[in-house]
Structure formats: C-alpha cells, structure tokens
Amino acid sequence: MARTPFKVEVLTPDGEVFNEEVVEVVTRTAVGDIGILAHHVPVLAMLDPTELRLFRSETDVVTFAQGEGFLQVQPGGETVLLLVDEVHEPSKINTSDVEEKLRRAEDELSKAERFSAEERTARRDKRRYEAYLKAARGDSG
C-alpha cells in the first residue's frame, strides 16, 4: 500500500543533517518508541538516544544514531522536525571508541552518589553510548 510522503528535517547544532520527504519516521521519545506517518496529530516530545529510522519507502530506509533532543510534528502532520544534539551515520561510528566511552560511563555510574548530578550524567551517557552501539551494529531490536 502506498503511503503519503511528508517533509522531515533533522537539525543539530552543526546544521542540517537531513531534509527530504519520507513516508514514515521511527524514533524514541522519553516515554517510548513512536512511529509517525503523514497527517499525524501535532506532537512535541523529548527524544532519547536511539536509532532514528527515516523511511523513504518500505525498502529504502535511512538510519542515524540519534542523541537527545526534541521532536515536533507540526499541525496538519505534513512536516516533522527533529532537533537533536548529535546525529551520526551508523557506518561512521568508531565502535571501539564508543565502547570505551560506555565503559567510562558505567564506571562513573558505579561511583556516583545516588540521586546526584553525576549519577544523572552517567546514566544519560550510558543510554547514549548503548544506543550508538546498537545503531552501529544494526541491532534495531
């Protein structure tokens, strides 16, 4: 079944990463995964690190390792905007570097005082690096 295309823009502090029409967006918000099709109701949500999937068609999928940020589905559901702190092409992720960062985050988490800013930072970093590794390894499950 043919789906209706809509515009998606992915922006980082470094600039525009993606600006094309797609038929579906799949990402993760702070409350769970979300799939967006054309004419979706307006949404404003916080994004968690995950593998961002942008479907140009059912078989043509662009993927990114997405950091934290915000998602906006504009009224009318014809435009989706993702403002994220980082976006990486999975094939360009240095997994050994990310694995080392993950180990450091886990170490910091184990040392952090409960409910401290250090604990929150270490948890956030751990989630980010786990998501980046999943995207780099093509593990979207």
The CATH code for residues 6-88 is 2.60.15.10
* All structural domains of the chain with their residue ranges: 6-88, 91-136
Q: How many residues does the chain have?
A: 141
pTM of the model: 0.88
The DSSP line for 24-89 is EEEEEETTEEEEE-TTPPPEEEEEPSEEEEEESSSS-EEEEEE-SEEEEE-TTSSEEEEEES-EE-
- Classified as helix, coil or strand, 115 is coil
Reported as a single tens digit per residue, the pLDDT across 49-73 is: 999 999 999 899 999 999 999 999 9
Supply the DSSP symbol for 141: -
Instruction: Show Cβ contacts of residue 13 under 8 Å, excluding neighbours closer than 6 positions.
Output: 85
Residue range 9-45, pLDDT digits in tens: 999 999 999 999 999 999 999 999 999 999 999 999 9
∠ CA 49-55-60, nearest 5°, is 120
- Indicate the angle between helix axes 95-111 and 117-136, nearest 10 degrees: 160
Please give the structure tokens belonging to residue 109. Answer: 């988490």
Percent of the chain with pLDDT over 70: 97
pLDDT mean across residues, the chain: 94
